[in-house]
Amino acid sequence: MTEVYLSLGSNLGDREKYLKEAVKRLKSNKNIVLKKLSPIYETKPVGYLEQDNFLNAAILIETDLTPYELLDVTTSIEAELKRERTIKWGPRTIDIDILLYDGLILNDEKLTIPHPHMWERAFVLIPLRDINPSLSKNGLSIDELIQGLIDKQGVWLYKKDWCGEV
């Protein structure tokens, strides 16, 4: 089984419900085991700013799916939860991104791992730190990476313990 970190985000409708439903659907896949779940954070939008705040979380799973098979699972869940891709970085019911896949580096037209913007986004790094505080990039700890971003992006705790609800 391979360790994979995913990021979840929602800013349309019942945001918390969409996060929980995405986790439930991931857990229901026989090839995926949920290992850790971060708290939920409320975050200001990045990129396209004319939209509501997001709820974001990170999860650690173990899977025997290939990166492409996992991408198919995550995009299927997004479609089931009525994700529409109309505006880049725009509003969405659910967004499930593959952040890290057991040290794999992959870059093609379908999938990039590590996620190309993860190290620049406090709304990804803060929940990720909660489930793996020892992550680093280019000799910088995840705390140091977050400190470089925290003034630029609003991120605050929304709900600490929600794993019993999924």
Residue 150 clears pLDDT 70, i.e. is over it? no
Total-model pTM: 0.90
- Tally Cβ neighbours within 10 Å of residue 110: 9
In sequence order, the β-bridge partners of residue 60 are 5, 36
The pLDDT of residue 138 is 87
C-alpha of 126 from chain center: 11
Per-domain residue ranges of the chain: 2-165
Tens of pLDDT, residues 66-125: 999 999 999 999 999 976 766 666 688 899 999 999 999 999 999 999 998 899 899 999
d(CA 86, CA 63): 30
Residues designated as active site: 83, 92, 95, 97
Determine what percent of the chain is predicted with pLDDT higher than 70.
89
The pLDDT of residue 116 is 87
Among 110, 121, 105, smallest CA distance to 9 is for 121
Distances from the Cα of 42 to the Cα of 31, 102, 165, angstroms: 30, 27, 18
d(CA 80, CA 74): 10
Tens of pLDDT, residues 29-41: 999 999 999 999 9
Structurally, at CATH architecture level, domain 2-165 sits in 2-Layer Sandwich (3.30)
Residue 152 clears pLDDT 60, i.e. is over it? no
